[in-house]
Chain A
Amino acid sequence: MINFEEEIEKFQPSPEIEQAEDVINNNDLTDISDIIKMILKEKENTIHFDK
């Protein structure tokens, strides 16, 4: 049984066109390649630090 109060809370306001710039800027564009690169960089730094 759906609880209206709970259900309505799931609805979020839709961004307006004037807010499109904010939406684009706040978009998380990190992909797997970025993560891999970041991991590899961290790994390199760790090795360098250990040395």
Chain B
Amino acid sequence: MVCPNCQSNVSDKKNRCERCGQDLTLYRKIYRASNMYYNIGLEKAKVRDLSGAIIALRKSLELNKKNTNARNLLGLVYFETGETVAALSEWVISRHFCPNDNDADRYITAVQDNPTRLDALNQAIKRYNNALAYAKQGSEDLAVIQLKRVLQLNPHFIRAYHLLALIYMKTGDTEKAKKYLLRASRIDVSNTTTLRYMQELDQQPDSVKEGANGSDNENSSVMPVISYREDKPNVMAFVNLVIGVIIGIAVTAFLIVPSIKKKNVAGDNQDYVDYNAGLAALEEKEKAIANLQDENSQLQQKINELQAELDSIEIPEVNPEIYDPLFEASSLYMDELVKRERDRDYAQIAEILRTTDTSKYESDTALQLLDRLKQEIFPVVSKEHYENGHNLYSKYKYEEALDELFMAYNYDQTNVDAIYFIARSYHRLGDYESARTYYEIVVNDFPESRRYQDAVSFLESLPE
């Protein structure tokens, strides 16, 4: 406990302050009473007797203004009844007396951290004040509009409910007044003003009812009791029924049946029109199909022509194997070069080169290599075949000699000796025409050669 005289802490067991010597017995009783009122206020608040809670909590604070729990709860109760400023005031004061570990901090923060809500609450207060001014001036309609808006902004504003109910009571709209009072009573069950207005409204209907019964029976909801009387059979009802049936049949005959017939005819006509339209569409489709078929046949013909053209085009095949003979010849040539000159044998290489089909060669380098090999090898081989042919010629084997000499001539077209002895062999064999042909080659193409004179002589000696 804090000593109210010197503000020093005193043990709860001691009845006198050790510092200032103040007798604390009375203060203890006062604080106990304050707590008791706080408990009463809390009990009332729990059952929504907010007005009762406010009275109890105020008493508690009158006894002990530093009763933080009582002040915080009073703030909450005020807030619940729509008294925002009173609530904030209590919490601020509570925080002033107890700055540390105070729930009031949380309440203030909760309100201040939502500016939209705070603004709505303030707007509600302002509008309520305006409505009150309007009501005092006699402008009830404007006041009602304002108060309805107030209750939208702050549905817990008890004062607004009371004022609205009072206005409705004045204007005679008791139902609405009752409705708003009931809403107010849901927030604060024992509010004196609410209960007083309710009591007023409860009394009012009786007087109104009495007045109404006396003045106007038509408005009464109570039906007069009439004596029992047995109903007589009603002939008119039967007549009416018969008339109704007749009218029904007539309507069916004159209105509905013609309408149905007309509808059927219209339907048939529509079907006929639809059929014609369908026929025309069908013809059109057939025509389109015929056109498309013609187009199709023309296109098919074109495709065939183009296919034939395509087939006629020969695409040169790039086959790496066509170069194999060249590689083989080159390889063999290199092998021969390693050998001594007299041991070299170019016959096989020459044969490969001679039989190689160069028509499919696309590489210029390959063709150049082939020509070079031919230039290197063919004269040598031609000379060898010439030697062989000449030896056979010397042995009078002219036909065999011709084979070798032609080989020599084929390998080297400039081998004039070979040409000369071909002519000589034919000459010896008596084939003068052939002999003439080859003598003339020597005479015409190789006038500078050593065979020229002999060729001229033999040519002249040939019989015509």
Interface, chain A (partner B; CB < 8 A): 1-2, 4, 7-9, 11, 13-20, 23-24, 27, 29-34, 36-37
A32 B63 Cβ-Cβ under 8 A: yes
Collect the chain A residues with CB atoms within 8 Å of residue B61's CB: 31
B4 A1 Cβ-Cβ under 8 A: no
Instruction: Pick the contact of A8: B63, B65, B121, B166 (CB < 8 A).
Output: B166
Instruction: Pick the contact of A27: B93, B162, B196 (CB < 8 A).
Output: B93
**Beyond A14-B125, A14-B128, A37-B4, is A31–B85 a contact (Cβ under 8 Å)?**
no
B86 A15 Cβ-Cβ under 8 A: yes
Mask: chain B, 7-43; 1 = CB below 8 Å from A; 0 = not: 0000000000000000000110010000000000000
The interface on chain B, measured as residues whose beta carbon lies within 8 A of the other chain's beta carbons, has a size of 38
**Beyond A8-B136, A11-B162, A37-B5, is A17–B121 a contact (Cβ under 8 Å)?**
yes
**Beyond A11-B163, A14-B159, A31-B65, is A20–B89 a contact (Cβ under 8 Å)?**
yes
Residue contacts A-B, CB under 8 angstroms, 11 given: A2-B196, A8-B132, A13-B129, A14-B85, A14-B128, A15-B85, A16-B129, A23-B89, A30-B65, A34-B65, A37-B4
Collect the chain A residues with CB atoms within 8 Å of residue B125's CB: 14-17
The reply to whether the CB of B118 lies closer than 8 angstroms to some CB of chain A is yes
A2 and chain B: residue at smallest CB distance: B200
Collect the chain B residues with CB atoms within 8 Å of residue A4's CB: 166, 169-170
Which applies to chain B's interface (DSSP): helix, strand, loop or mixed? helix
B85 A29 Cβ-Cβ under 8 A: no
Which applies to chain A's interface (DSSP): helix, strand, loop or mixed? helix
**Beyond A8-B135, A8-B136, A37-B4, is A19–B26 a contact (Cβ under 8 Å)?**
no
In whole angstroms, what is the CA distance A15 to B125 when docked?
7
The reply to whether the CB of B62 lies closer than 8 angstroms to some CB of chain A is yes
In whole angstroms, what is the CA distance A29 to B96 when docked?
12
Mask: chain B, 80-106; 1 = CB below 8 Å from A; 0 = not: 000111101100110000000000000
Instruction: Pick the contact of B85: A2, A16, A30 (CB < 8 A).
Output: A16
Q: Which chain B residues numbered 31 to 75 have a C-beta less than 8 Å away from chain A? A: 61-66
**Beyond A2-B200, A32-B30, A32-B63, is A27–B128 a contact (Cβ under 8 Å)?**
no
A19 B85 Cβ-Cβ under 8 A: yes
A24 B30 Cβ-Cβ under 8 A: no
Instruction: Pick the contact of A20: B65, B85, B129, B197 (CB < 8 A).
Output: B85
A8-B136, A17-B125 known, 7 other contacts, Cβ within 8 Å: A4-B166, A4-B169, A8-B166, A17-B118, A19-B85, A23-B86, A32-B64
**Beyond A2-B200, A11-B132, A33-B30, is A17–B65 a contact (Cβ under 8 Å)?**
no
**Beyond A11-B159, A16-B125, A33-B4, is A24–B65 a contact (Cβ under 8 Å)?**
no
In whole angstroms, what is the CA distance A19 to B125 when docked?
11
A33 B64 Cβ-Cβ under 8 A: yes
Collect the chain B residues with CB atoms within 8 Å of residue A36's CB: 26-27, 30
A32 to chain B, nearest CB (A): 5
B128 and chain A: residue at smallest CB distance: A14
